[in-house]
Amino acid sequence: MSPEKNEAGRPGQVKTVTSVSNPVIKDIRALVSQRKRRKEAGLFVAEGLKLVTDAMQAGWPIRTLVFGGEVRDQPMVSKAAATARARGALVLDVSRAVLTSITRRDNPQMVVGVFEQQWAVPGKIAAKDAALWIGLDEVRDPGNLGTIVRTADAVGADGVVLIGDTTDPFAVEAVRATMGSIFYVPLVRMSRPEFLKWRTRWPGVVVGTHLKGETDYRKADYSGPVLLLMGTEQSGLPEEMADACSQLVRIPQAGKADSLNLAVATAVMLFEIKRKTLEL
């Protein structure tokens, strides 16, 4: 039997893999490249030692840890591998070619983890007095979504609601852009009709951002629970979503740009909403 045929791998064990056609490696590649596969399996891939360590520290269930043989003796890698094994994950010590095939890069990350997706449920959203949630209507760009999750974490927001047909927060690019904040910021998903129904029970203000908003964002009332609603990159908030807001605000602009980038506009709003409570 060839060594590759011994590469089955059981949870809690360390196995060596050198073949890019190993079935476990093929499954991980599918998780990286196919949203459908991530959805079916309820899994996703985090690339890089920092993200993998952050996820495990935050208690996200790990299924598989993959590391390159050339970093096997680095203390942080051994520690991550020991933690993953103790949690029952399959641990794979692989060749550079295998990591290149997973990450689709010539200069691949040397550590990759497969984790279970975690979603918060709408019923569990507690709208305490200073609550701040961000609703993203049909956000398309994984970099924007990841940056918004990172900024939400930075200002201490309570979570992000993904409304309608959005990009996948568990795509490798989105996870990477969160810089680990995805492991700390609750994510909820809803269709537009579900959101519009849920919104009627929201006890505070619903602040929509709109290029036709009549209120300067610095003059709006952000007391009590705030639900901040941001529009999609292409066309902004559709009418039914804008109508669901208690106020529509605009960030004034000079110059020729017709709008701000979605993640930038979200950051401007979040720091304004938290201006009085964030301290050095």
Contact residues: ligand SAM, CB under 6 A: 209-211, 213, 230-231, 233, 235-237, 250-251, 253, 259-260, 262, 265
* Least distance to ligand SAM, CB of residue 277, Å: 22
CA distance 99 to 112: 8
Select 29 or 199, whichever has its Cβ closest to ligand SAM: 199
Q: How far apart are CA 82 and CA 76, in angstroms?
A: 10
Residue closer to ligand SAM by CB (options 144, 181) is 144
| Least distance in angstroms from the C-beta of 262 to ligand SAM | 4
Report d(CA 256, CA 277) in Å as an integer: 33
CB of 81 to ligand SAM, least distance (A): 42
Rank residues 194 and 233 by Cβ distance to ligand SAM and give the closer one.
233
Spatial distance between the Cα atoms of 150 and 107, rounded to a whole number of angstroms = 25
CB closer to ligand SAM out of 179 and 211: 211
User: Which residue type, as a one-letter code, is found at position 153?
Assistant: D
Query: At closest approach, how far in Å is the CB of 122 from ligand SAM?
Result: 21
Please report how close the Cβ of residue 176 comes to ligand SAM at its closest, in angstroms: 22
Strands 205-209 and 226-230: parallel
Smallest CA-to-CA distance from 94 within 109, 79, 80 is with 109
Cβ proximity to ligand SAM: between 154 and 260 the closer is 260
Query: Judging by beta carbons within 10 Å of its beta carbon (0-12, 13-18, 19+), is residue 274 exposed, middle or buried?
Result: middle
